[in-house]
A and B are shown apart, each in its own frame.
Chain A
Amino acid sequence: MIYWFALIVAGVFEVIGVMNVKRLADKQKNALVFMIVFFGISFLLLSYAMKEIPMGMAYAIWTGIGTVGSALMGMYLFGEPRSWTRLTCIAVILASAVGLKLIA
Chain B
Amino acid sequence: MLQELEGTNSMNLNWSFVLLAGILEVFWVSGLKHATNTFEWGITIGAIAVSFFLLTLASKKLPIGTLYAVFAGIGTAGTVLAEMLVFGEPFNLMKIVLIGTLLCGVIGLKVLNSKEEKAVSEFEAQEVVV
A residues bordering B, Cβ < 8 Å?
Answer: 18-19, 21-22, 24-26, 35, 39, 63, 66-67, 70-75, 78, 80-81, 83, 85-86, 88-97, 99-101, 103-104
Interface residues on B, range: 35 or more
Q: A21-B59, A25-B59, A93-B102 are in contact. Are A35 and B52 (CB under 8 A)?
A: yes
Cβ A81 vs Cβ B98 within 8 A: no
Could you say which of A85, A89, A97 contacts B72, with CB atoms under 8 Å apart?
A97
Cβ B64 vs Cβ A92 within 8 A: no
A residues in contact with B56, CB < 8 Å:
21, 24-25
* CB of B1, distance to nearest CB on chain A (Å): 15
Q: Please measure, in the bound complex, the distance between the C-alpha atom of A96 and the C-alpha atom of B107, giving whole angstroms.
A: 14
Q: A21-B56, A90-B105, A96-B102 are in contact. Are A80 and B65 (CB under 8 A)?
A: yes
* CB of A28, distance to nearest CB on chain B (Å): 12
Q: A85-B112, A90-B109 are in contact. Are A70 and B64 (CB under 8 A)?
A: yes
Cβ A97 vs Cβ B94 within 8 A: no
Residues 50-62 of chain B: 1 if any A CB is under 8 Å from the residue's CB, otherwise 0? 0010011101100
From DSSP, what is the main secondary structure of chain B's interface residues? Answer: helix
* CB of A11, distance to nearest CB on chain B (Å): 12
Q: A89-B109, A100-B76 are in contact. Are A74 and B52 (CB under 8 A)?
A: no
* CB of A18, distance to nearest CB on chain B (Å): 5
Chain B: which residue is nearest A85 at the CB level?
B112
Chain B: which residue is nearest A94 at the CB level?
B69
Q: Please measure, in the bound complex, the distance between the C-alpha atom of A49 and the C-alpha atom of B67, giving whole angstroms.
A: 26
Cβ A103 vs Cβ B105 within 8 A: no
Cβ A83 vs Cβ B112 within 8 A: yes
Q: Please measure, in the bound complex, the distance between the C-alpha atom of A40 and the C-alpha atom of B109, giving whole angstroms.
A: 28
